[in-house]
Amino acid sequence: MFDDQHRKLRFDPAHRAITDAVRPVVPVGGGGSGDDALDDLVRTLRDERGLAAATLLGLRRSLTPFLAWLAAGGRAWQNATLDDVTAYLASRPHWSRVTISRHVQCLRSFFRHAAMRGWVRLGLAEMIDAPRLYTHERLPQGPRWTEVQQLLDANRGDAATQIRNYAMLVLLAVYGFRSGEVCALTLDDIDWEHERIHPPRPKQRKVGQYPLVGEVAGAIVRYLRQVRPRCTSRAVFLTLRRPYRPLSAGGLSTQVRLAQLRLGQTLQRYGPHGLRHANATYLLGEGFTLKEIGDHLGHTMIRATEIYAKVDVVSLRQVGDVDLASLVAHERHCAARATPFFRVGDLDALRLVADVPLGGVR
**Catalytic residue IDs:** 178, 203, 273, 276, 299, 308
Cα–Cα distance between 255 and 249 in angstroms, integer? 10
Helix segments in the chain, DSSP class H: 13-22, 34-47, 53-72, 82-90, 97-117, 124-127, 145-154, 160-175, 179-183, 214-226, 249-262, 272-285, 290-297, 313-320, 324-336, 347-354
Instruction: Label residues 187-200 b or e (16+ Cβ within 10 Å = b).
Output: eebbeeeeeebbbb
With CA atoms as reference, report the closest residue to 273 among 255, 291, 250, 253: 253
With CA atoms as reference, report the closest residue to 290 among 180, 185, 127, 136: 136
For residues 124 and 111, the answer to whether their CB atoms sit within 8 Å is yes
Torsion sign, CA atoms 257, 308, 302, 213: negative
